[in-house]
Amino acid sequence: MDKSNLRLIWIVIAIWTTKGGSRNDPNHITHLNAKYGDQVILKCLNNTNATSWDGPSSLSSNMYNETPYAVDGQIVQQLPNANNFMVVGDISVGEYNLKIVNLTQKEEGYYKCNAHIGNTPFELRFLLKIKARPIHLSTNAENGSLVGTAGDQMNITCRVRTELHENETKIYLKMYHNEYIVKQSENELIIHSFIPESINNRDIFKCVVESVMLDVPLREIIFLEIEYPPLVRFDRNEQNLTVNEGTDFSLTCFAESNPVTTEIFWETNGILIKREIENNKNVRLNIVNIKRHHEGNYTCVAKNEVGSDKKTVYIRVLCCQVQTEMTQTSVIVSISVIIVVSILVGIIIFFTKAKLKKKRHDTR
């Protein structure tokens, strides 16, 4: 057996045993990944006497549709991206490899090398996937936090930057608020404008980028920090309170705010009566042995850097004299009721006895 035939046998054996099967097996595909903008060389067999290349069709979205790319070492110039392809290798030894430069999504797909060694045909199949460079997603939040003021318009911005050229791939940019989509676009920028309230403090917004070029969507989370003036409330909902004279009275005022309340106090008729220094979240109004002169309006005032709030309650003092008069009146009413009831009972008894007496007389 001469050396040329021996070399052909070794080539066939190598092809058959590469990666667990024959390169001529239609089920065998070599998977290749390359970065956007880079170059790649698809290697066919050596020592071939005829080679052609097929590739993905630009007229179909199906990457497995084949169209001629190279014949006898020449690129088909009718290809829309023909300048990105060239046949390379040592032709003297039958080497016809396909080189692809400036990779974009257009070059992604299924390629096939059709080779002949002697009279034996061989097919080598490749599936080329283009991996995009990292897409940069940014927001107008600083360290994940966006500060706004209740009642003032604020904007939330999601922006994505990519090296992809226009229309080569779709990018879906979405904005979520507490898991609900508030805005979405195929453009590179989303701006959501709204007027926040105090209840929006610590709300969560999320920017998400989805693309066929990304294995995992990109995400950026935004926490809202809404500043608002104090919201004042009492531990009782009544705006008018009645208190018996001589008793002890207390009422607590609470203030919720962001940033924290810097000052909270009670006043009446413009006169400061109680200020809380260490605890700025609440202040208690205490009146021991309350008297008539304590009756009036009492106002709780709370302040912070954003603004202030206040709430007023009227305290009515029920004095002892009024209580005594009410007690005397109650006694008189009670006695009157007893007398009237007694008279009615007496009348009923009288008529009942008279009726019985008459009945006995009639019987005789």
**Can you give the pLDDT at residue 338?**
87
Q: What is the CATH number of domain 136-228?
A: 2.60.40.10
Exposed e or buried b per residue across 212-239, where buried means at least 16 C-beta atoms within 10 angstroms of its C-beta: ebeeeebebebebbbbbbbebbbeeeee
Digit-coded pLDDT (tens) for 334-344: 888 888 888 88
101-131 burial, b at 16+ Cβ within 10 Å, e below that, comes to eebbbbbbbbbbbbbebeeeebbbbbbbebe
235-320: CATH class = mainly beta
pLDDT above 70 for 62:
no
Return the domain boundaries, the chain: 3-131, 136-228, 235-320
Is 87:97 a contact under the CB 8 Å cutoff? yes
* Nearest Cα residue to 300 out of 364, 222, 218, 236: 236
Nearest to 300 by CA among 248, 264, 260, 262: 264
Beta-strand relationship, 249-258 and 263-268: unpaired
> CA end-to-end span of the chain, whole Å?
163
pLDDT tens figures, 115-161: 888 888 888 999 998 876 557 899 999 999 999 999 999 999 999 98
Rounded CA-CA distance 47/118 in Å is 9
Looking at the chain, the whole-number percentage of residues with pLDDT higher than 90 is 51
Measured distance CA(114)–CA(50) in Å, rounded: 8
Query: Residue 25: what pLDDT?
Result: 56
Largest Cα span, the chain: 164
Helix (H) or strand (E) holding 47: none
Q: Are 84 and 77 in contact (CB under 8 A)?
A: no
Tokens describing residue 265:
């106090």
The tens digit of pLDDT for each residue in 83-107 reads 999 999 988 888 899 999 998 878 9
What pairs with residue 256 in β-bridges? Answer: 231
pLDDT (0 to 100) of residue 14: 37
225 within 8 A of 141, measured Cβ to Cβ? no
235-320 has the same fold as 136-228: yes
Q: Which overall architecture, per CATH, does domain 3-131 show? A: Sandwich (2.60)
